[in-house]
Amino acid sequence: MSQKFTADSVTAQLALVGTNIEPARAANVAEALATQVSAANTAYASLPFEAEPAGYLHACAEAAS
Amino acid sequence: MTPEAIVELSAADLARAIRSKQLTALTAMEAVLARAGEVQNTLNCFVRIDRDEALAAARLADAELARGVLRGPLHGVPMAHKDMYYREGAISSCGSKIKRDMPAPSTATALKKLDTAGAIQFGVLNMAEFAYGPTGHNYHLGHCRNPWNPDHITGGSSSGSGASVAARASFAALGSDTGGSIRLPASFCGVSGIKPTWSRVSRHGAMPLSFSMDTVGPLARTVEDCALILAAIAGADPLDATASQHPVPDYMAQLARPIRGLRIGTPKRYFYDNIDAEIEGLMKSSLEIYRQLGAEVIEVDLPDIEPWNTAAMLIIAAEAAAAHGNWMRARPQDYSDQVRARLELGLAVPATSYLDGLRLRGVALQAFSRDVFAKVDVLHAPSVGFQTPTIAETDISGGATMMRVLNNITRLTRPGNFLGLPCLSVQAGFAGNGLPTAMQLIGRPFDEAALFAAGHAYQQATEWHLQAPKQP
């Protein structure tokens, strides 16, 4: 099941972190997030279980240099 | 030498002239202050000019030199910087309303290192609000304008850095690059700019936007200037645990390293998807120059970059939103509509989407290194794929089309940030609208020296970097 973003879900999410958002702005956020998260998920689908962000790039950069 | 001739000098040439006492630091400072005053009304590239302090510092530099004291390789060179590098006790607006009354608690390591190298800061430069915008619009300070045509954007977020250096109103300037903020204004304004490897330069005292993407680097007239300035600011810093311990090579000594046999990759896809035909032609011309210089140009297949780009946007959005969380709760009305909209988006990014983005970075770098750097030494690509738009065309505020437009502007620069790779933007000619454009050279982690050598060789064979906009 894919992630769904709606104006209501965005409003609720922002309320959880103490920020108000007007309905029209929440709708814009929901639309943009739906597009971005869906696109990123195509890459996330092939992430190895063991991949972790700790030292993620620094160590890789040192190793690849 | 006339003031007009002085301001045409590169930072490296000016430093040499001051060292050899052909010019005084005071004369150089007076010339650049005069030029800054001439262009400011039209370009709005400066936030503040510290004239009296700068002149006093220039006199001191001359007195030191007369006593045989040379501070460093930038002795007496006037520079202004993006208004997000803190100097203790001074205001860094960060292009915002929120920080315009807050004195900085400490001095940025990059500024300290430039002070040590002898550079003299004479002002601070316009920028996108909190460095969160790729066009150069600023609704608090006024939009910065392109010196080649003031109706057009400068690019951002280091808008004043690109505009002032191109207009010969600063010899060089610090910018910062989280998604393209050095390379975009470098390309749109016709100057050179280096986004170093992530962690190559300390971020201590630099305004944070996205801690895992932010990089500090210079915009300058030439690649040689970029090498000179990066050499001064790169390296480990006890005040920034993320600053790499990796040794800093002698970039200046390696500028002249041979290009013959260098393997330059040209990507088969992504960077040329839907690109402007004139820019594509300029890219082909620049590759032909490299062939004539003896480099080997090789087509390379890239991994699928598009989803990486989206992951980068999610990471930046989430990290920026976290940094701004307190102000978003207390002072949301003090952000411009566009920045507020982007921060709202960041607040709604699912934690797993953010963390998966971070998990992807190392995997992606390994794939990119395997597919690209196993075959070539440097990847060549356009910095932007379209001709410089007008300020009006990109005045999109925070509406529904915002993210699509912004993402299109940063589409070719953002992968370098996601991968943490060094990227050098180099002037590559002019499009039909009369405005400059650029190529970017992308290198292995910490191999800025290869980029400088390749960029410098190109500038020795071309004259794009010598072109200056007409005085406004």
Is B353 tagged catalytic? no
Chain A contact for B434 (CB, 8 A cutoff): no
Q: What is the DSSP letter of B135?
A: S
**How many CA within 13 A on the CB side of residue B178?**
25
Residue B471 inside a domain? The answer is no
Prediction ipTM score: 0.87
Q: How many residues does chain B have?
A: 472
Rg (CA), chain A: 17
Task: Give tens-digit pLDDT for B101-120.
Answer: 999 999 999 999 999 999 99
B111 within domain boundaries: yes
- In chain A, the residue whose alpha carbon lies closest to the alpha carbon of B329 is A19
Chain A residue at shortest CA distance from B444: A65
Could you tell me the pTM of the whole model? 0.96
Task: Give the β-pairing of B423-430 and B192-195.
Answer: antiparallel
**Residue B324 included in any domain:** yes
Going B188 to B194 to B195 to B201, the CA torsion angle's sign is: negative
Q: Answer yes or no: is B472 within a domain.
A: no
Under an 8 A CB cutoff, do B358 and A56 touch?
yes
Report how many domains make up chain B.
1
Question: Cβ contact (<8 Å) for A65 and B332?
Answer: no
CB contact burial B130-144 (16+ within 10 A = b; e otherwise): bbbbbbbbbbebebb
Question: What's the half-sphere exposure (Cβ side, CA atoms, 13 Å) at B429?
Answer: 16
In total, the C-beta contacts within 8 angstroms joining chain A to chain B are 142
Question: In chain B, positions 286-345, which contact chain A (CB-CB < 8 Å)?
Answer: 304, 306-308, 310-311, 313-314, 325, 328-329, 332, 341, 344-345
The CATH number given to whatever domain includes residue B294 is 3.90.1300.10
B172 assigned to some structural domain: yes
Task: Tokens for B162, please give them.
Answer: 């690109």
Partner-chain contact B310 A17, CB within 8 Å: no
Active-site residue B176, yes or no?
no
Q: How is residue B236 written in tokens? A: 């480990």
With bands split at pLDDT 50, 70 and 90, how would you rate the model's confidence at A50? confident
* Residue B349 with chain A: CB contacts under 8 Å: 33, 37
Establish whether B284 is a catalytic residue. no
Exposure string over B152-189, b if 16+ CB within 10 A, otherwise e: bbbbbbbbbbbbbbbbbbbbbbbbbbbbbbbbbbbbbb
pLDDT at A3: 76
Query: Which residues of chain B are within 8 Å of residue A22 when distances are taken between CB atoms?
Result: none
| Bridge pairing between strands B215-220 and B378-382 | unpaired
Catalytic residue among B10, B158, B159, B181: B181
B76/B57 Cα distance (integer angstroms): 8
To the nearest 10 degrees (0 to 180), the angle between helices B448-461 and B223-233 is 160
Distance CA B11, CA B170 (A): 9
Residue B119 covered by a domain: yes
All residues of chain B having their beta carbon less than 8 Å from the beta carbon of residue A57 are 198, 212, 361-362, 365, 419-420
Structure tokens at B217: 């680097």
Which residues on chain B are in Cβ contact (under 8 Å) with A31? 400
C-beta separation of B144 from B136 below 8 A: yes
Q: From the candidates B10, B157, B159, B286, give the one annotated as an active-site residue.
A: B157
CB within 8 Å: A56 and B362: yes
Q: Give the 3-state secondary structure of residue B424.
A: strand
Tens of pLDDT, residue by residue, chain B (472 residues): 999 999 999 999 999 999 999 999 999 999 999 999 999 999 999 999 999 999 999 999 999 999 999 999 999 999 999 999 999 999 999 999 999 999 999 999 999 999 999 999 999 999 999 999 999 999 999 999 999 999 999 999 999 999 999 999 999 999 999 999 999 999 999 999 999 999 999 999 999 999 999 999 999 999 999 999 999 999 999 999 889 999 999 999 999 999 999 999 999 989 999 999 999 999 999 999 999 999 999 999 999 999 999 999 999 999 999 999 999 999 999 999 999 999 999 999 999 999 999 999 999 999 999 999 999 999 999 999 999 999 999 988 777 777 788 888 999 999 999 999 999 999 999 999 999 999 999 999 999 999 999 999 999 999 999 999 997 6
How many angstroms separate the CA of residue B406 from the nearest CA in chain A?
12
The stretch A8-34 carries a mean pLDDT of: 94
**Edge-to-edge strand ranges of the sheet holding B436-443:** B172-177, B215-220, B192-195, B423-430, B436-443, B378-382, B263-267, B296-300
Q: What stretch of H or E contains B110?
A: helix B109-117
| A chain contacts of residue B344, beta-carbon cutoff 8 Å | 10, 14, 19, 21, 25-26, 29
CA–CA dist B129, B402 (Å, integer): 16
**Structural domain range at position B53:** 3-466
Residue B129's CB: how many other CB atoms inside 10 A?
26
CB-closest option in B344, B353, B366 to A60: B366
